[in-house]
Amino acid sequence: MSKASLDEILSEEDFQALAASRGARFGRLSHTLLARELWTRRHFYQLIVEADVFESFLDDHGASHNQRYRSLRELVASVRGLSRAGFAVRHLESRLDTYGISAVCEGDEEARFAQAVVDARGFLEQSLRGLLSAVLEESAAGDFELPSELFADEEYTADQARRRLPRNLDGEIQEDEEHYIATVATRYLEVSELFSSFQLGDTDSPLMSERLMSEFCTEESARVYEASVHNLQSVYDTYIKNTTLEDSDERLPRLRGHVSVAFHLLEAFTELIHFVERHERSRSLDASSRIPKAVDRSRVVQVARENLLAWAARMIVLGRPYAEALVPTYTNQSELFVEVPPELTLHARPVALIVKIVNHHGTATTCEVGGSECNAGSILEMMVTVGSHPELSTYCFSGDARTLEDIRRLFAAGLGETGTDSFPPELGYL
């Protein structure tokens, strides 16, 4: 006996009444924002909320697979994405003075950056106005009208203040605070290498701009950039923010400021790249799509690259001196010479354990043998360096004393060749 389908086919006429009702708040907000000259952060945020609700309703009713309402669904989805970008940029604009980037900006760089942020926000507002107008037109073409009454002030979703317990440890420095600072600074240097690995250069030619976008600015790479900086910010906020050491070392909040600026720029950058790849580019093949008419694709690409990604990379590079200075301040740099016993070899398994120790502590550690030096936190570099000198048994590790002490323990325990039972308790994480 076959089971009855749980899906009920809804006529387009019945859908129209539902859409007019469920999209009412989105419609009223759209009319309100179209009448405003300047949007604040709360306007962008509310547009995210209402677009998300309306898009979910359209998805739940299969609008993306309906010829009549497919374009409406894509317009609303585009509004949601560009609203996220707008919120990130508007948030950054409102807090720019608190991030402390002026201390390292060169010449008129701070003013040029501030203008780039203002221009990006202005472009996003203009694009969203075009999309909102297109949504209203598309809904009317679908035989339902979204209400035009204004959105009341009390209807906006209020920002929730963060609530936390009072700090009352009387200036006590908690265990491992210095270690986490060194770890964050080391990760910052690694992230800065990620951004210095590509050169955007001058791209007056539209063809050159498209080539650079395809090579460096795909949605996949955009999410890698954003996640790398977001993870850095999360680690900082978890282990360093609101600590005694943060209060006593001005380099720490300044480093955090550079991370935050880059993160907000990359949030917006990712949304614009997503718009190009998942919405505007595919919809441009649809002659009935209103998206290409509402948003200038070439300007999306230009703003994403010049106003967002390029400045995010620059802000990370400008913060690098702070990280470089923090690493030696909060680590006890030392050297460790170890020798592999004659009956053992430094093959893949013990090398993997060394790499795990280095990555566990999170601070930069190098390994030198026979004049060749490598990153001891990279199994590939370690295997190449060790394999290049099979006749040598003496190795020199350089880095934080805490990392080196665990490497010494590993060698003292026979590199784990007789099993992990021989490891001391300090190496329990292996």
Q: What is the pLDDT of residue 1?
A: 45
Residue 337 bridge partners (DSSP): 396
Assess contact for 53 and 25: CB atoms under 8 A: yes
288: tokens are 């009935």
DSSP secondary structure, 325-372, as one string: HHHHHTS-EEEEEEE--TT----HHHHHHHHHHHHHHTS--EEEETTE
Tell me how far apart the alpha carbons of residues 33 and 294 are, in angstroms, rounded to a whole number: 16
Tell me how far apart the alpha carbons of residues 140 and 30 are, in angstroms, rounded to a whole number: 14
Tell me the helix, strand and coil percentages in the chain, rounded to 5.
65, 5, 30
Contacts of 249 (CB under 8 A, 6+ apart): 326, 329
Q: How many other CB atoms are there within 10 angstroms of residue 45's CB atom?
A: 20
Tell me how far apart the alpha carbons of residues 27 and 145 are, in angstroms, rounded to a whole number: 9
Distance between first and last Cα of the chain: 56
Q: What is the pLDDT of residue 203?
A: 47
Residue 372 bridge partners (DSSP): 369
Q: What is the pLDDT of residue 35?
A: 94
* Model pLDDT for residues 303-335, shown as the tens digit of each residue: 998 899 999 999 999 999 999 999 888 888 899
> Which segments of the chain have a pLDDT < 70?
1-7, 159-175, 197-216, 279-288
Tell me how far apart the alpha carbons of residues 353 and 276 are, in angstroms, rounded to a whole number: 43
Classify 289 as helix, strand or coil: coil
Assess contact for 361 and 400: CB atoms under 8 A: yes
Residue of 66, 91, 73, 68 whose CA lies nearest to 26:
73
Which amino acid is present at 95? R
Q: What is the pLDDT of residue 243?
A: 86
339: tokens are 């020798």
